Structure 1
């Protein structure tokens, strides 16, 4: 898994981050769901859905890539990986609650080993 995170480090470093849902904004399809951290994508990248690779950017500036979320949404019939960037442990817990508990998709959080 170290190779995965090294590759993500390089991808993040070579990409601009576009935040299209700042911390505190609501989810476009679930108005009751509020983003606990900034959410956006890596500009110039392509994920499985054809859009940029998704990123949660937390409050621990300089922490780098700390993990990923992996989710499967039966309603959309897709699977996604989202990068956890500059996230503190509290940020990771809030993101886990968002993707696992609130959005009702099959999801896990994989953290980078120290």
Structure 2
């Protein structure tokens, strides 16, 4: 697992982050769901859905990659990994609530171990 996070560190350092949903904005499909942190993608990357690798960017600047969410969406018939970048423990909890409880996708949060 350490190799995964070390590789993500390199990827995040080498790609600009494009924020397309700022903290406080609503989900494009579920208008009752509000993003607890900035959400976007790593420019110049490709994930399983053909778009850039998704990133949740929190306010704990300098903490780096603290974890990932892994989800399987039966409606879209895809699986995705989303990077948790610069997220505080409270922000990780809010992202977990968003991904696991609110968006109704099979999701888990995997945190980086010290």
Query: TM-score scaled by structure 1?
Result: 1.00
Describe the superposition over 1:42-98 as per-residue Cα deviations: whole angstroms up to 9, x where unpaired.
Answer: 000000101000000001000000000000000110000000000000000000000
- The separation in 2 between residues aligned to 1:51 and 1:73, in whole angstroms, is 15
Number of the residue aligned with 2:65? 65
Number of the residue aligned with 2:4? 4
- The separation in 1 between residues aligned to 2:22 and 2:63, in whole angstroms, is 19
- The separation in 1 between residues aligned to 2:15 and 2:74, in whole angstroms, is 30
Q: Which segments of 5 or more consecutive residues in structure 2 lack a partner in the other structure?
A: none
Runs of 4+ off more than 4 Å: none
- The separation in 2 between residues aligned to 1:107 and 1:50, in whole angstroms, is 19
Number of the residue aligned with 1:97? 97
- The separation in 1 between residues aligned to 2:76 and 2:17, in whole angstroms, is 25
| SS of equivalent residue, structure 2 residue 75 | coil
Q: Which segments of 5 or more consecutive residues in structure 1 lack a partner in the other structure?
A: none
Aligned-pair CA distance for 1:27: 0.2
User: What is the correspondence of 1:44-83 to structure 2 with a 5 Å cutoff?
Assistant: 44-83=44-83
What is the aligned length? 114
Query: TM-score scaled by structure 2?
Result: 1.00
